């Protein structure tokens, strides 16, 4: 079987390799990896050009990661190849795959036939390093041309490995009030995250801090949900947290039923008092 894996993040290539330890893996990426038999290093990040190159490899199984660019490339390649797509897979065994359904309330096990495009979720896996042969690929120019590159503001953060997360929802009140949650996160050695409305809808935090089914799935030791109502898609992203602390003025918010500890009160005052308490130690 001709298996081709594409992702801008080499961690997804490692995950794909763990699913097929005895199969030849051809990886396409701008990044280096030790978990493929062949690595085709493309010279530019052009979704259209990469998709066309992937299609030219005529894979039986095309696996992509789940970053936004990965999904765009996967969908484009599927269209060129006229392959079906199986998205957001959390496990593959042979021709069987598992994916989260009903906003995290269940896991479906599906059988698939090749050819197909599958996007996979990132997770910690053990995979054997391979003797990787590298090939540099000069892609054809796509229709979209890069005019300017601007760096995103703020510090990068890896919420998927954070042990303590302070996450904010609409209940924080305003973009200016996020500083209080950020101060709390820094005081207790945590990372700052947010719900979909805060990141994708309002833009008060970068989208790489979005937690939930359509964002990141996290599993910290402690998760502070500040002013988060607790919609199913958000709960699906935090269900593996060891302890959930909900702070909300609404004692009937859905998050309350899913929390280990509940504070009914003002989010800003909670942050300020917690920072004071920590500062005294």
Domain 3-137 classification at class level = alpha beta
Residue 233: CA count within 13 A, CB half-sphere: 10
Name the percent of the chain in helix, strand, coil, to the closest 5: 30, 25, 40
Are residues 39 and 24 in contact, defined by beta-carbon separation less than 8 angstroms?
A: no
d(CA 214, CA 103): 10
Task: Phi first, then psi: give them for residue 118, nearest 5 degrees.
Answer: -125, 130
- Look at residue 35 in the predicted model and tell me its pLDDT: 95
The domains spanning 3-137 and 159-280 adopt the same CATH topology: yes
Cα 1 to its chain centre, rounded Å, is: 28
Task: Phi first, then psi: give them for residue 232, nearest 5 degrees.
Answer: -55, -40
Domain 159-280 classification at class level = alpha beta
- The closest alpha carbon to 20, from 96, 109, 122, 121, belongs to 96
Q: Which residues contact 239 (CB under 8 A, 6 or more apart)?
A: 104, 258
CA angle centred on 154, ends 181 and 198, rounded to 5°: 50
d(CA 244, CA 225): 7
Match 């990068």 to its residue by tokens. 156
Residue 238 CB coordination number (10 Å): 27
d(CA 67, CA 71): 6
- Look at residue 272 in the predicted model and tell me its pLDDT: 95
Q: Which residues contact 242 (CB under 8 A, 6 or more apart)?
A: 219, 220, 221, 222
CA angle centred on 141, ends 140 and 144, rounded to 5°: 145
d(CA 33, CA 14): 8
* Domain range annotation of the chain: 3-137, 159-280
Distances (CA, A) of 188 to 79, 154, 270, 274: 47, 19, 14, 9
Residue by residue, pLDDT tens for the chain (281 residues) are 999 999 999 999 999 999 999 999 999 999 999 999 999 999 988 899 999 999 999 999 999 998 889 999 999 999 999 999 999 899 999 999 998 787 666 789 999 999 999 999 888 888 999 999 999 999 887 777 778 876 655 556 778 889 999 999 999 999 999 999 999 999 999 999 999 999 988 999 988 899 987 788 899 999 999 999 998 889 988 988 999 999 999 999 999 999 999 999 999 999 999 999 987 65
């Amino acid at each position: 079987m001709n298996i081709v894996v594409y992702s801008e993040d080499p961690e997804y290539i490692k995950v794909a390799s763990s699913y097929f330890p005895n199969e030849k893996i051809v990886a396409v990426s701008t990044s280096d990896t030790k978990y493929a038999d062949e690595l085709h290093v493309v010279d530019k990040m052009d979704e259209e050009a990469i998709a066309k190159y992937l299609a030219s490899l005529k894979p039986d199984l095309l696996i992509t990661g789940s970053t936004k660019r990965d999904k765009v490339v996967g969908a484009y390649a599927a269209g060129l190849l006229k392959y079906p797509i199986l998205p957001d897979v959390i496990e593959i065994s042979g021709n069987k795959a598992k994916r989260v359904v009903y906003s995290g309330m269940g896991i479906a096990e599906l059988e698939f036939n090749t050819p197909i495009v599958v996007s996979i979720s990132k997770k910690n896996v053990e995979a054997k390093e391979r003797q990787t042969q590298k090939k540099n690929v000069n892609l054809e120019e796509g229709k979209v041309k890069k005019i300017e590159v601007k760096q995103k503001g703020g510090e990068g953060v890896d919420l998927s490995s954070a042990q303590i997360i302070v996450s904010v929802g609409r209940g924080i009140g305003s973009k200016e009030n996020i500083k209080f949650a950020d101060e709390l996160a820094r005081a207790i050695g945590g990372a700052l995250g947010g719900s979909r409305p805060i990141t994708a809808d309002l833009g008060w935090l970068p989208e790489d801090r979005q937690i939930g089914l359509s964002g990141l799935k996290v599993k910290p030791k402690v998760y502070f949900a500040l002013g988060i109502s607790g919609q199913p898609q958000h709960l699906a992203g935090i269900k593996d947290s060891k302890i959930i602390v909900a702070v909300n003025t609404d004692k009937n918010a859905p998050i309350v039923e899913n929390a280990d500890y509940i504070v009914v009160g003002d989010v800003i005052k909670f942050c300020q008092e917690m920072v004071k308490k920590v500062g005294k130690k």
